[in-house]
Amino acid sequence: DSGVTQTPKHLITATGQRVTLRCSPRSGDLSVYWYQQSLDQGLQFLIQYYNGEERAKGNILERFSAQQFPDLHSELNLSSLELGDSALYFCASSPRSLAGGPGELFFGEGSRLTVL
C-alpha cells in the first residue's frame, strides 16, 4: 500500500460524457501528479500540482482539467469523452523535498476508465 488513494477504481461511461477522478496523496506529500496509461503504452505525464498550484503540464488535452485543493487532494476532470480516452489513470505523490531520499513517486492503484 503506497498510501495514495484513488477513486473510483473502475468507471464505465459513454462517449460525450464527463467524469471526475479523485486522488488523495500520501500524508505530508505536497506534490500530486497525474499520468495516463493506455493499453501497451507507457505512462504519459498529464499534469503536476505542488501545494495547490499547477507546476508542470504534459500532454494533457484541452478537454481535461485538474486541480489540487487546500487539503491537497486532487481531481482530474475528463469531459467530452472519446473512445480513445479509455485508459488507466494514475495519480502519484511525492515528498516535499529530496532530503529524505531520491524523491521517487508513489503511485495509487489507478482508476480504470472505459468509454463505450
Other C-beta atoms within 10 Å of 93: how many?
26
Nearer to other proteins, 73 or 79 (CB): 73
Residues 6+ apart with CB under 8 A from 22: 6, 7, 8, 73, 74, 75
Binding residue (CB under 8 A) for other proteins from 22, 26, 55, 73 = 55
What's the CA gap between 17 and 22, in Å, rounded? 17
**Position among 19, 23, 110, 113 found at the interface with other proteins (CB under 8 A):** 110
Name the residue type at position 70.
P
Q: Which of residues 75-94 bind other proteins (CB under 8 A)?
A: 88, 90, 94
Q: Is 54 in the site for other proteins (CB under 8 A)?
A: no
Per rule CB under 8 A, is residue 43 in the interface with other proteins? Answer: yes
DSSP code of residue 83: G
Count of residues touching other proteins (by CB under 8 A):
25
Element (H, E) at 68: strand 64-68
Write out the residues near other proteins by the rule CB under 8 A: 2, 31, 33, 35, 41-45, 48, 50, 55-56, 88, 90, 94, 102-110
